[in-house]
């Protein structure tokens, strides 16, 4: 039976909630800043000069009109005139901002309440401060458009009209209320329409600047590419670059041992690129496994000269090294490798040698980095893909064909000796059927890929279903489905997952495997964990481990990191991370289980 339950992977609500909040913003007051933070935009900043002019003009006019009623209501007119002027000064020094949040909305409504209260307290529609209501609806229209301004205008007018008509429902008061209400609504429409026109103009201006910026970026990129094509070395093959580097070292320095190490950013280890003389150096080393001078030079990020290694208590790369010079290989603002040259004699290298190596390492580092990146680009090309297909066919079918050839030889021998070959032919026929089935599965798996219409979650579900059909392996699949990576990156992540699952199925002797896929559109994490036999640490990176080497190549080609952790009897975990990805913090809530 196949039970299917699909839910989001664990630990991913933070960025999803942020995107949902962004999508729910309808007034255009927020935007993403490109690194995951929501920036607030002041929607009335464009109209600040107009609001200030209207505010002062209406305030001064209202105070001037209030002086005509100073005799009838001296205290009321004086107090409200002072409040209006003080409020206007405050808003001049600290202009009102509307960013779409609750606080700025309360400030807009607070200004409306203040102006309406002023009018109600000084005579309703007969108040000399009646023009203050125009400031309120103008600010509301500039902040959120004419829909909001009309609602503010209607509520404000009703707040003044109802008590005004209750006191005297005469025809004159009704006409006066209607006239002022009409004026307020017209001002609200004008303010809202002005905001809409300004918004369209701003969008067109932003679009034009964006297009201009894209053209400028394209121009800069083309110019940079032109410069690069003029300065690239004659060969982008890593072996050629390393061979040339060793040859040039021989011409510049007298040494017994020379070693070039490259930093593998997929797993944080140091890979042996080239060795000349000296004793055997491990193909891959952790940082703590490097010799002391190499660790020192990594921390100092420069050139280190040691005139007497035995006196310092340090061992060299060669069996009898007495002195050495060590340097980092800098490129792209980081350390991409190390270079070391050593000699058996103490104090062999001079200050001139140190300065010479200091000027030598930078162009060498650039040449090596160019060659390694070119190799990574080739990894996703057709030549490398054909190599992987050949490896896959060799692993899955080559051994079966070799076994059948051996069985045929046995049958021929038995027939020559007069033995019954019927049972052997029967077994051979079953083996041929098995090979045909393997060929069909292999070709189907090779055709299975991520596309625009099928994301990595759909592809892994289909692949897991085929695993269920041909083996008793139980697979638990947890997938994010709300975002995708660029197609090329997603395809390489899928191939890494496919290779890891294939290794589990063939070699791990596991009965259960857990697959976790998390993605937010910018960062992604893939984790495959089985409960198989495992292996000793250090054997996962052997150069003859074609499947693991292929996974490293794919991870490197898209700038991802690959970690393989295993212990005998405790299973294996393969983790591939692209960009920034948080670690899973809790158990998954949903799964796809094939049992």
Q: Are residues 61 and 145 in the same domain?
A: yes
Whole-angstrom distance, CA of residue 177 vs CA of residue 133: 13
Q: Are residues 138 and 175 in the same domain?
A: yes
| Domain contains 220 | no
In order along its 595 residues, the chain shows pLDDT tens digits of 333 333 333 333 343 444 334 334 444 444 444 333 334 566 667 777 877 788 888 888 888 887 777 666 777 788 888 888 888 888 888 887 777 778 878 888 888 888 888 888 888 887 888 888 787 788 777 777 767 878 888 888 888 888 888 877 888 878 888 888 888 888 878 877 777 776 655 566 566 666 666 666 556 545 544 444 443 444 578 888 888 888 888 888 899 999 999 998 888 899 999 999 877 788 899 999 999 999 999 998 889 999 999 988 888 888 788 999 999 999 888 899 999 999 999 999 988 888 888 888 888 888 888 888 877 766 555 555 666 666 666 666 666 777 777 778 888 887 777 777 778 777 777 777 777 776 766 666 666 678 888 888 888 888 888 888 888 899 999 999 888 888 888 888 988 998 899 889 888 889 999 999 999 888 999 999 999 998 876 555 443 355 787 788 888 888 899 999 988 888 999 999 987 544 433 333 333 333 3
Q: What's residue 537's pLDDT?
A: 62
Question: What residues contact residue 318 under an 8 Å CB cut-off, 6+ apart?
Answer: 256, 257, 277, 278, 279, 342, 344
Other CB atoms within 10 A of residue 418 CB: 7
| Domain contains 554 | yes
Q: Are residues 195 and 59 in the same domain?
A: yes
Whole-angstrom distance, CA of residue 573 vs CA of residue 569: 13
DSSP assignment letter at 130: T
Other CB atoms within 10 A of residue 564 CB: 23
- Please provide the DSSP assignment of 537-555 as one string: TTSTT-TT-HHHHHHHHHH
Greatest Cα pair distance, the chain, in angstroms, is 138
Bridge-based pairing state of the strands 334-343 and 323-331: antiparallel
Give the E-state strand segments of 301-433 in sequence order.
303-306, 323-331, 334-343
Round the CA-based radius of gyration of the chain to a whole number and report it: 38
| Domain contains 31 | yes
Q: Are residues 162 and 100 in the same domain?
A: yes
Q: Are residues 188 and 75 in the same domain?
A: yes
| Domain contains 222 | no
Other CB atoms within 10 A of residue 297 CB: 24
Other CB atoms within 10 A of residue 40 CB: 14
User: In CATH, what number is assigned to the domain containing residue 547?
Assistant: 3.30.565.10
| Domain contains 209 | no
Q: Are residues 287 and 155 in the same domain?
A: no
* Number of domains forming the structure of the chain: 4
Whole-angstrom distance, CA of residue 495 vs CA of residue 229: 32
In the listed set 447, 462, 494, which residue is the last one of a domain according to the structure? 447
Structure tokens at 311: 């006196």
Q: What's residue 516's pLDDT?
A: 94
Q: Are residues 286 and 426 in the same domain?
A: no
| Domain contains 210 | no
Q: Are residues 184 and 62 in the same domain?
A: yes
In the listed set 447, 467, 483, which residue is the last one of a domain according to the structure? 447
| Domain contains 224 | no
Structure tokens at 47: 């109209």
Q: Are residues 87 and 195 in the same domain?
A: yes
Question: What residues contact residue 108 under an 8 Å CB cut-off, 6+ apart?
Answer: 96, 98, 139, 140, 143, 144
User: In CATH, what number is assigned to the domain containing residue 358?
Assistant: 3.30.450.40
Q: What's residue 563's pLDDT?
A: 92
Q: Are residues 436 and 466 in the same domain?
A: no
Residue 233 contacts residue 242 (beta carbons within 8 Å): no
| Domain contains 213 | no
Residue-range definition of the domain harbouring residue 424: 380-447
In the listed set 371, 399, 423, which residue is the last one of a domain according to the structure? 371
- The DSSP H or E segment spanning 391 is helix 382-393
Length of the chain: 595
Q: Are residues 397 and 272 in the same domain?
A: no
Q: Are residues 461 and 386 in the same domain?
A: no
pTM value is 0.40
Q: What's residue 155's pLDDT?
A: 84
């Amino acid at each position: 039976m196949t039970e299917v339950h699909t839910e989001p992977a664990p630990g991913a609500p933070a960025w999803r909630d942020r995107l949902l909040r962004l999508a729910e913003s309808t007034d255009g007051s927020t935007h993403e800043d490109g690194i995951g933070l929501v920036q607030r935009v002041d929607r009335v900043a464009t109209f600040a000069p107009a609001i200030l002019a209207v505010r002062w003009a209406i305030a001064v006019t209202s105070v001037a009109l209030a002086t005509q009623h100073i005799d009838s209501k001296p205290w009321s007119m004086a107090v409200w005139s002072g409040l209006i002027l003080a409020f206007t000064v405050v808003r001049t020094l600290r202009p009102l901002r509307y960013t779409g949040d609750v606080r700025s909305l309360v400030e807009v409504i607070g200004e409306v309440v203040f102006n309406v209260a002023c009018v109600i307290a000084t005579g309703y529609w007969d108040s000399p401060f009646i023009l203050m209501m125009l400031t309120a609806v103008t600010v509301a229209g500039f902040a959120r458009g004419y829909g909001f301004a009309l609602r503010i205008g209607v509520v404000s007018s009703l707040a003044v009209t109802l008590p005004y008509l209750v006191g005297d429902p005469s025809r004159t008061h009704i006409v006066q209320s209607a006239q002022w209400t009409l004026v307020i609504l017209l001002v609200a429409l004008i303010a809202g329409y002005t905001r809409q026109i300004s918004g369209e103009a701003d969008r067109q201006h932003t679009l034009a600047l964006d297009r201009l910026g894209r053209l400028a970026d394209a121009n800069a990129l083309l110019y940079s590419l032109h410069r690069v094509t003029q300065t690239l070395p004659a060969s982008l093959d890593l072996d050629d670059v390393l061979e040339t580097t060793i040859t040039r070292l021989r011409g510049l320095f007298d040494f017994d041992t020379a070693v070039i190490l490259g930093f593998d950013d997929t797993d944080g280890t140091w890979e042996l690129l080239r060795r000349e003389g000296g004793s055997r150096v491990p193909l891959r080393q952790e940082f703590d496994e490097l010799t002391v001078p190499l660790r020192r030079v990594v921390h100092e990020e420069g050139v280190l000269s040691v005139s007497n290694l035995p006196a310092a208590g340090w061992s060299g790369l060669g069996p009898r090294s007495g002195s050495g010079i060590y340097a980092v290989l800098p490129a792209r603002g980081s350390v991409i490798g190390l270079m070391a040259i050593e000699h058996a004699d103490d104090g062999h290298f001079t200050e001139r040698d140190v300065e010479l190596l200091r000027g030598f390492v930078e162009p060498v580092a650039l040449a090596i980095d160019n060659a390694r990146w070119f190799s990574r680009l080739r990894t996703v090309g057709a030549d490398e893909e054909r190599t992987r297909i050949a490896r896959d066919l060799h692993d899955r079918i080559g051994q079966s064909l070799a076994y059948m050839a051996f069985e045929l030889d046995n049958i021929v021998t038995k027939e020559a000796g007069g033995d019954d070959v019927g049972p052997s032919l029967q077994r051979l026929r079953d083996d041929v059927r098995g090979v045909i089935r393997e060929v069909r599965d292999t070709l189907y798996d090779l055709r299975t890929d991520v596309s625009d219409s099928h994301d990595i979650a759909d592809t892994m579900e289909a692949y897991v279903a085929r695993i269920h059909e041909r083996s008793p392996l139980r697979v638990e699949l947890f997938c994010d489905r709300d975002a995708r990576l660029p197609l090329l990156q997603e395809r390489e992540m899928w191939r890494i997952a496919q290779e890891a699952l294939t290794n589990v199925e063939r070699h791990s002797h596991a009965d259960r495997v857990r697959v976790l896929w998390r993605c937010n559109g910018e960062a992604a994490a893939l984790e495959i964990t089985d409960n198989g036999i495992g292996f000793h640490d250090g054997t996962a990176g052997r150069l003859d481990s074609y499947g693991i080497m292929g996974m490293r190549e794919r991870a490197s080609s898209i700038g991802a990191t690959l970690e393989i952790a295993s212990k005998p009897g405790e299973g294996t975990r393969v983790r591939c991370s692209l960009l920034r990805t948080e670690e899973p913090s809790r158990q998954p809530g949903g799964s796809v289980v094939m049992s």
